[in-house]
């Protein structure tokens, strides 16, 4: 089983993670062992809340290759989650816990125990505090990887934003020919490596209808001219107006849509598939996946959260 284990970081302590995790493993079977990195005490509390019964097997990370792992028990690497003097988990303690969880997960990856990593939902604003745009950039930085891509994957249609988590006023400044070429190359390499085929890629324009009332039109000067060069090597077309590209007869022609900014492509794909999509970081030397949603603090403890995205993430890694 070595190198086949799926490492799962619980992520934000104040989130719906444990609820969706219990639902994912209760109703599905996985061939590869799951190793959960979390606070054992918090895990037990949630097992009681959601009436989830399974034995916990605590693992020593220093001898983890010596274990014969399976999913008959919960394989857990414990991360102590401290509480403040008033018995609450404040922002600083939460941040320390998430950092420690990532450190242990990255250690397992770097030691080649596994090449599969899932992180639970994280409050990006509180955790990163402007140092990184999101988890995608945070993970890439830890492994010193510069060329990465965010893929929101569904087997029927996936999307990739050229720029991620940027205020709109900064987007146009970041769009370059080099970045477009880089993202398309990363998408193509990823699909060839993990799915065995070269994807058909559609690219949106930046401006409404790919037109501009200004003298400088990014869609003509940057996007269109770049795609003309790339068509000899990649199955790529565009730029297309984003408001019609996602219509049924248009989107069915493509495997991936590359958009100019985050919400330009994430909004329609989430509208189409809701929770049936996963977030994959392309360009890393391992597979990093996460559910395509946030901590959803308002739903904690209500047992109403949708586990599809985490289930899809586990199944995806289980198949690789």
Q: Do 76 and 189 belong together in one domain?
A: no
pLDDT for residue 213: 82
pLDDT for residue 77: 98
For residue 293 the two structure tokens come to 């949603």
Q: How far is CA 310 from the centre of its chain?
A: 10
Distances (CA, A) of 73 to 33, 36, 53, 54: 10, 11, 10, 6
- Mean pLDDT in residue range 24-41: 96
pLDDT tier for residue 90 given thresholds of 50, 70 and 90: confident
Q: Do 159 and 194 belong together in one domain?
A: yes
User: Could you tell me which of 199, 206, 194, 207 has the C-alpha nearest to residue 253?
Assistant: 199
- pLDDT one-digit tens code per residue, 46-69: 999 999 999 999 999 999 999 999
Q: Do 66 and 112 belong together in one domain?
A: yes
Q: What are the residues whose beta carbons fall under 8 Å from the beta carbon of 46, sequence distance 6 or more?
A: 18, 19, 22, 52
Whether the pLDDT of residue 1 is over 50: the answer is no
pLDDT for residue 110: 95
The answer to whether the CB of 8 falls within 8 A of the CB of 36 is: yes
User: Could you tell me which of 258, 262, 267, 270 has the C-alpha nearest to residue 309?
Assistant: 270
User: What's the CA gap between 156 and 297, in Å, rounded?
Assistant: 30
pLDDT for residue 276: 95
Q: Do 256 and 300 belong together in one domain?
A: no
User: What's the CA gap between 162 and 261, in Å, rounded?
Assistant: 6
Q: Which helix (H) or strand (E) holds 41?
A: helix 40-49
Q: Do 312 and 205 belong together in one domain?
A: no
Percentage of the chain lying above the pLDDT 70 cut: 95
Burial class (CB within 10 angstroms; exposed 0-12, middle 13-18, buried 19+) of 142:
middle
- Mean pLDDT in residue range 139-164: 95
Residue-range definition of the domain harbouring residue 225: 147-282
Q: List the CATH number of the domain containing 246.
A: 3.40.718.10
Q: Do 24 and 135 belong together in one domain?
A: yes
- pLDDT one-digit tens code per residue, 261-285: 999 999 999 999 999 999 999 999 9
pLDDT for residue 128: 61
What value does the mean pLDDT of the chain take?
92
The verdict on whether omega for the bond into residue 239 sits within 30 degrees of 0, i.e. cis, is yes
Q: Do 203 and 137 belong together in one domain?
A: no
Q: Do 107 and 164 belong together in one domain?
A: no
In the β-sheet with 6-9, what is the strand arrangement from edge to edge? 56-58, 74-78, 34-38, 6-9, 116-119, 287-291, 278-282, 149-153, 158-161, 256-259, 201-204, 236-240
DSSP-derived secondary structure letter, 199: P
Q: Do 25 and 42 belong together in one domain?
A: yes
Q: Do 61 and 75 belong together in one domain?
A: yes
- Mean pLDDT in residue range 196-200: 98
Longest CA–CA span in the chain (Å) reads 66
- pLDDT one-digit tens code per residue, 222-266: 999 999 999 999 999 999 999 999 999 999 999 999 999 999 999
Q: How many domains does the chain have?
A: 2
Q: Do 122 and 180 belong together in one domain?
A: no
Q: Do 132 and 189 belong together in one domain?
A: no
- Mean pLDDT in residue range 96-120: 95
């Amino acid at each position: 089983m070595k190198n086949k284990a799926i490492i799962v970081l619980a992520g934000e302590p104040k989130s719906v993670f444990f609820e969706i995790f219990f639902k994912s493993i209760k109703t599905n079977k996985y061939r590869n062992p799951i190793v959960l990195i979390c606070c054992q005490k918090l895990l037990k509390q949630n097992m009681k809340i959601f009436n989830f019964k399974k034995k916990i097997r605590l693992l020593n990370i220093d001898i983890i290759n010596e274990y014969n792992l399976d999913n008959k028990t919960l394989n857990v690497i414990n991360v102590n989650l401290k509480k403040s003097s008033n018995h609450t988990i404040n922002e600083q303690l939460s941040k320390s816990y998430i950092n420690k969880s990532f450190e242990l997960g990255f250690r397992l990856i770097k030691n080649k125990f596994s090449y599969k990593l899932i992180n639970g939902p994280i409050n990006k604003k509180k955790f990163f505090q402007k140092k990184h745009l999101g988890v995608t950039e945070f993970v890439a930085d830890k492994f010193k990887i510069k060329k990465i891509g965010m893929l929101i994957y569904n087997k029927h249609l996936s999307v990739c934003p050229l720029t991620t988590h940027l205020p709109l006023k900064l987007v146009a400044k970041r769009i370059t020919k080099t970045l477009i070429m880089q993202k398309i190359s990363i998408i193509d390499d990823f699909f060839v490596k993990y799915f065995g085929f070269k994807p058909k890629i559609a690219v949106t324009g930046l401006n409404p209808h790919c037109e501009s009332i200004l003298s400088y039109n990014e869609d003509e000067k940057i996007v269109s001219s770049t795609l003309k060069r790339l068509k000899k090597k990649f199955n790529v077309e565009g730029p297309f107006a984003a408001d019609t590209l996602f219509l049924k007869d248009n989107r069915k022609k493509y495997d991936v849509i590359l958009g100019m900014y985050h919400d330009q492509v994430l909004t329609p794909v989430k509208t189409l598939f809701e929770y049936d999509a996963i977030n994959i970081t392309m360009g890393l030397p391992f597979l990093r996946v996460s559910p395509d949603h946030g901590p959803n603090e308002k739903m904690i403890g209500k047992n109403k959260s949708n586990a599809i995205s985490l289930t899809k993430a586990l199944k995806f890694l289980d198949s690789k």
